[in-house]
Amino acid sequence: MNKYLKQFDEILTKMNFINDYEIGDKIGKYENTIIVNKNSYLQGVVRYYNNESKEKSVEYLQELFEEYSVFLKEILSELQIVSDKQLKLIAYNCEKINDEFKLFLDNLSKTYNNEYEPLKEFIQQVYNSFRIFSFSLFMLYN
């Protein structure tokens, strides 16, 4: 189970940026870590200089989500085999992270006026995945 706790900590670290995000901010990458570019007069200049774009932002999020999605599937698979308190706690905390990530995505969507189609598709994919995870947990515990 320590394997899952370590993975969970790594994912939390990678998703730390979602707590700093506000509508109007943009995301980028620095040293392989997703960061928040705060909304300011220089935001566009900084993003241009760092070769950032909304397309790249969605790519970064997709990569992160793929990794997180694999982790969620592993947790569900393991819970089907064993009933472990620590693993259940991790699953419970994943539900909280899912809610925070959805809030982040809602704010990101508002930043782009809900008009950027690849982002809208990505958000739908995330929401569907989180619904499946929640339903699967519900079925395991009931």
Domain residue ranges in the chain:
2-16+54-141
Tens digit of pLDDT for each residue in 40-74? 999 999 999 999 999 999 999 999 999 999 999 99
Q: Which residues of 83-120 are buried (b: 16+ CB within 10 A; e: fewer)?
A: eeeebeebbeebeebbeebeebbeebbebeeeebeebe
Tens digit of pLDDT for each residue in 87-104? 899 999 999 999 999 999
Contact 86, 92 (CB under 8 A): no
Q: What is the pLDDT of residue 114?
A: 80
Q: Is the pTM of this model over 0.85?
A: yes
Q: What is the mean pLDDT of the chain?
A: 93
